[in-house]
Amino acid sequence: MPTTNAEPRYGAVAQALHWTIAGLIVVQFVLAKLAERLPLGMHKLILLARHKSFGMTILALAVLRLAWRLANPPPPLPPGMRRAAKTTAAATHTAIYALLFAMPLTGWLMSSAKNYSVSWFGLFTWPNLIGPNEPAFKLLRETHGILSKLLFALVILHVLAALKHHFWDRDDVLRRMLPVRRPRMRS
Ligand code: HEM
């Protein structure tokens, strides 16, 4: 499979970044929801530390992914798609990209505002972005929670759209993001 995007499919780098980030987002939701149920203590802090490390990994991968996308424009959508569907797809993708930055940044800022260090799997510590600030912490925690619900809704929409393309429209939109050999070559 070619490394770069080449019509009609995504290349290996774009696919690897897409599926790695998708998997890490699932991990993030699971860790956050498990931590939420626990009382403050060692277990909760360990889960949140992992959540922070994976979150910072997503931020780094989002930077790489955006740079790669700018250098390698995605293959065009099937010509048969209606204009409204293309506009919805573009808006959803833009919003997901924005949240891939906004979620880690609000988390990082939130931890900084509480003066909790953000370590990367115990290997090094990211610098605090702001000083201790309780009102900012509360606002950022609220924002992080609201954005997570928005991201959740958009990811569900994104997955449903991909499944609709595959099973209903029977085009190559999902397959071109998968390491499969033979595209259906339908539009
Ligand atoms: C794409 C990356 C991320 C996703 C999808 C994500 C998702 C979530 C979710 C779903 C929650 C539960 C929110 C709620 O229902 O109230 C949460 C909580 C939390 N997140 Fe993240 N997060 C991400 C990145 C980060 C990063 C990078 C940090 C810190 C460096 C962070 C720190 C926290 C903390 C401390 C909480 C618990 C807040 C509390 O005390 O209630 N998150 N996150």
pLDDT in tens, 51-74: 999 999 999 999 999 999 999 999
In a domain, 16, yes or no: yes
Residues listed for the chain? 187
In a domain, 185, yes or no: no
> Distance between CA atoms of 101 and 59, rounded to whole angstroms?
6
DSSP H or E stretch at residue 82 = none
Q: Which residue from 148, 152, 155 has its CB within 8 A of the most atoms of ligand 1, so it is best to mutate?
A: 148
- Output the ligand 1 site: residues, CB below 6 A: 25, 28-29, 32, 36, 48, 51-52, 55-56, 58, 103-104, 107-108, 110-111, 118, 141, 144-145, 148, 151
Residue type, 67: A
Q: Which residue has its alpha carbon closest to ligand 1 atom 43?
A: 32
pLDDT band (50, 70, 90) for residue 17? very high
In a domain, 159, yes or no: yes
Residue 4 is predicted with a pLDDT of 79
Pairing of strands 118-120, 124-126: antiparallel
Residue-number span of the structural domain to which 73 is assigned: 12-177
Q: For residue 90, give the CATH number of its domain.
A: 1.20.950.20
- Which residue did the predictor score with more confidence, 97 or 9? 97
Q: Is pLDDT of 157 > 80?
A: yes
Q: Which residue has its alpha carbon closest to ligand 1 atom 40?
A: 141
- Which residue did the predictor score with more confidence, 6 or 174? 174
Of all residues in the chain, the percent with pLDDT exceeding 70 is: 96
Q: Which residue has its alpha carbon closest to ligand 1 atom 31?
A: 107
Instruction: Determine the longest span between alpha carbons in the chain, in angstroms.
Output: 56
Query: Judging by beta carbons within 10 Å of its beta carbon (0-12, 13-18, 19+), is residue 68 exposed, middle or buried?
Result: middle
In a domain, 3, yes or no: no
Q: Is pLDDT of 173 > 70?
A: yes
User: From start to end of the chain, where are the E strands?
Assistant: 118-120, 124-126
SS3 183: coil
Q: How far is the CA of 156 from the centre of ligand 1 (A)?
A: 18
How many domains in the chain? 1
Q: How far is the CA of 107 from the centre of ligand 1 (A)?
A: 6
In a domain, 140, yes or no: yes
Q: Which residue from 17, 28, 61 has its CB within 8 A of the most atoms of ligand 1, so it is best to mutate?
A: 28
Q: How far is the CA of 129 from the centre of ligand 1 (A)?
A: 16
> Distance between CA atoms of 38 and 57, rounded to whole angstroms?
24
Q: Which two tokens stand for residue 99?
A: 């949240």
Q: How far is the CA of 144 from the centre of ligand 1 (A)?
A: 6
In a domain, 158, yes or no: yes
In a domain, 2, yes or no: no
Average pLDDT estimate for 120-124? 98
Cα→Cα distances 180→86, 159, 162, 177, 187, Å: 24, 18, 16, 9, 17
In a domain, 112, yes or no: yes
Cα→Cα distances 70→25, 67, 75, 180, Å: 22, 5, 12, 24
Q: How far is the CA of 148 from the centre of ligand 1 (A)?
A: 8
> Distance between CA atoms of 85 and 158, rounded to whole angstroms?
12
